[in-house]
Amino acid sequence: MKKVSKVLASAVIATLVASAFTPAVSAAEVKPAVSAAAQKADDFGMEFDHPFTDVGSRYDEAVSFLYNVEIINGKTATTFGTHQNLTRGDAAVILANALGLDTENAPDAGFKDLNSRVRGSVNALAEAGIVSGKTADAFGTGDPLSRGAMAKFLASGFELEEYAVETPFTDVGGVFAPYIEALYGAGITSGKTETSYGTHTNITRGDFANLLYRTIMFIIDNEYLPLAESVSSLSPASFSITLTEAAPEEFSAGDLWNLFYVDIELEDGSSIYVNPTSVTLSPDRTVLTVEHSSLAGKAGTIWVDGEISAEFNYKN
């Protein structure tokens, strides 16, 4: 079981959990029509739209989602470039955004063709072992991304290798084969035709958006997310979250905290962002205790994932 916090990044997790979003479809069931993801977003008032005039119904949901969780931008303020080839540099920026990588402090990967816009993303992905260059010193920033390379980007970035199965595609082989098999096994791609994946065909920005969206839906639908049973205010500077079941051993207290959305709503209607000073997990791994800035002199409600709550009053 992988750490979804490592994979999905704070932007995606925070947006989904803040909307009390529980996926009800698998990746293979994601369609251009309104899905459970879009419906939940609408139910909870989450903006699920984009400003692009060149995005048709086939790509609308994916682009809307990725735009609203700040993973993608358009080519201009009003055009996404749906049918344009996706460059390797742009793909690196999008993927680094989706994975929440540290693009500021990653060591130089040694590529000489990186501009300031993509350098941090490429360096971070290279450090994580997700991408490599076309040569030792050239990433191929402006070159179009092939569907084979796209498979490597997604399968490596989201750690999907364990889902690999044999495909019916006659054009799959070489270095990209295991990554294509992983996307196929996870139900994220079905190929260009029943027998052709299009390994060496360039991928468009719209098709990449769809595949990235399906990948994120697959991860959320299949990976561990903790559920809160209750929340209790322990003192002006601490509260606890009781889980519905013991957290897996590979998840630290910090990992679990990053998978919850917590909001402290004061009685005047204002909210306080919770920035913990420490987070600890009980020995039986069922209670998360959070220490934070003091709420002395205040009263209100602690909300977890928009559903579980506990009132507090430290005015006296």
CA distance 314 to 230: 20
> Which segments within the chain are labelled E, that is strand?
228-235, 238-243, 262-266, 271-273, 278-281, 287-291, 299-304, 308-313
CA distance 298 to 275: 17
User: Looking at residue 40, what is its pLDDT?
Assistant: 41
Structural domain count, the chain: 2
> How are the residues of the chain apportioned to helix, strand and coil, as percentages rounded to the nearest 5?
35, 15, 50
160 and 281 share a domain?
no
* Residue 216 φ then ψ, to 5°: -65, -40
53 and 202 share a domain?
yes
| DSSP-derived 3-state class of residue 116 | coil
Residue at which a domain ends, from 192, 222, 252: 222
67 and 105 share a domain?
yes
CA angle (293 as vertex; 288, 298 as ends), nearest 5: 105
User: Helices H, strands E: what count in the chain?
Assistant: 9, 8
On whether the CB atoms of residues 195 and 167 are closer than 8 A, the answer is no
What's the CATH number where 306 sits?
Answer: 2.60.40.1220
Rounded to a whole number, what is the largest CA-CA distance in the chain?
A: 73
Residue at token pair 């959305």:
261
CA distance 261 to 274: 9
146 and 199 share a domain?
yes
User: Looking at residue 3, what is its pLDDT?
Assistant: 40
User: Looking at residue 47, what is its pLDDT?
Assistant: 53
- Cβ neighbours around 24 below 10 Å, total: 12
Residue at which a domain ends, from 188, 222, 256: 222
Q: Note down pLDDT in tens along the chain; length 316 residues.
A: 344 333 344 344 444 444 433 333 223 333 333 344 444 444 434 456 899 999 999 999 999 989 988 889 999 999 999 999 999 999 999 999 888 888 999 999 999 999 999 999 999 999 999 999 999 999 999 999 999 999 999 999 988 999 999 999 999 999 999 999 999 999 999 889 999 999 999 999 999 999 999 998 888 777 777 889 999 999 999 999 999 999 999 889 998 998 888 999 999 999 998 989 999 999 999 999 999 999 999 999 999 988 899 999 999 8
Q: Which of 74, 78, 44 is nearest to 206 (CA)?
A: 74
136 and 212 share a domain?
yes
User: Looking at residue 221, what is its pLDDT?
Assistant: 76
CA distance 115 to 38: 35
40 and 58 share a domain?
yes
CA distance 133 to 117: 17
On whether the CB atoms of residues 98 and 71 are closer than 8 A, the answer is yes
On whether the CB atoms of residues 10 and 100 are closer than 8 A, the answer is yes
262 and 186 share a domain?
no
108 and 238 share a domain?
no
On whether the CB atoms of residues 256 and 17 are closer than 8 A, the answer is no
User: Looking at residue 232, what is its pLDDT?
Assistant: 97
Q: What's the half-sphere exposure (Cβ side, CA atoms, 13 Å) at 135?
A: 6
Buried b / exposed e along 74-86 (16+ C-beta atoms within 10 A):
beeeeebbbebbb
On whether the CB atoms of residues 155 and 120 are closer than 8 A, the answer is no
On whether the CB atoms of residues 18 and 306 are closer than 8 A, the answer is yes
> Which tokens sit at 154?
């997604």
65 and 202 share a domain?
yes
234 and 217 share a domain?
no
Instruction: Write out the residue range of the structural domain in which residue 234 sits.
Output: 228-313
> Which tokens sit at 170?
């006659």
Residue at which a domain ends, from 184, 207, 222: 222
- Cβ neighbours around 197 below 10 Å, total: 26
User: Looking at residue 306, what is its pLDDT?
Assistant: 81
160 and 18 share a domain?
yes
User: Looking at residue 225, what is its pLDDT?
Assistant: 77
151 and 247 share a domain?
no
User: Looking at residue 259, what is its pLDDT?
Assistant: 83
> Which tokens sit at 196?
């052709």
